[in-house]
Amino acid sequence: MRIVMFYHSLLSDWNHGNAHFLRGIVSELLARGHDVRVYEPENGWSLANMRAEYGDAPIQDFRAVYPGLESIFYRLESLDLDQVLDGADLVLVHEWNDHELVRRIGQHHARINQPYRLLFHDTHHRAITDPAGIAAYDLSQYDGVLAFGGVIRDLYLQNGWAAHAWTWHEAADTRVFYPRVGKIRLTPNPSPFTERGDLAASDSPSLLAERGAGGEANDLIWIGNWGDDERIAELHEFLIEPVRALGLNARVYGVRYPDQARTALAQAGIEYGGWLPNFRVPEVFAQYRVTVHVPRRPYVAALPGIPTIRPFEAMACGIPLISAPWQDAENLFTPGEDYLVARDGAEMRRCLHDVLNDPALAQSLSEHGLATIRARHTCAHRVDELLAIYESLTTPETELHL
Spatial separation of the C-alpha atoms in residues 367 and 318, rounded to whole Å: 7
Give the model's pLDDT for residue 277.
97
In this structure, what DSSP letter does residue 400 have? -
Start-to-end CA distance of the chain, whole Å, equals 22
Contact 272, 203 (CB under 8 A): no
Give the model's pLDDT for residue 112.
67
Give the model's pLDDT for residue 208.
40
Contact 3, 32 (CB under 8 A): no
Cβ neighbours of residue 95 under 8 Å, at least 6 residues apart?
120, 121, 122, 123, 124, 126, 134, 137
Cβ neighbours of residue 120 under 8 Å, at least 6 residues apart?
92, 93, 94, 95, 102, 137, 139, 142, 144, 145, 146, 162
Give the model's pLDDT for residue 251.
98
Q: Amino acid identity of 284?
A: V
Give the model's pLDDT for residue 290.
98
Give the model's pLDDT for residue 395.
84
Cross-sheet strand order for the sheet of 90-94? 71-74, 35-41, 2-6, 90-94, 117-122, 144-147, 165-167
Spatial separation of the C-alpha atoms in residues 317 and 159, rounded to whole Å: 38
Give the model's pLDDT for residue 169.
97
Instruction: Judge if pTM exceeds 0.85.
Output: yes
* Closest C-alpha among 332, 313, 386 to residue 19: 313
Give the model's pLDDT for residue 402.
57
User: 51 by DSSP, 3-state: which?
Assistant: helix
Give the model's pLDDT for residue 181.
78
Contact 289, 355 (CB under 8 A): yes
Give the model's pLDDT for residue 298.
75
> Mean pLDDT per segment of 10 residues, for the chain of length 402 residues?
98 96 98 98 96 96 97 98 96 97 96 86 92 96 96 96 97 98 42 30 37 62 86 95 98 96 98 97 98 87 87 98 95 98 97 98 98 98 98 75 56
Instruction: Count CA atoms within 13 Å of residue 120 on its CB side.
Output: 33
Give the model's pLDDT for residue 304.
86
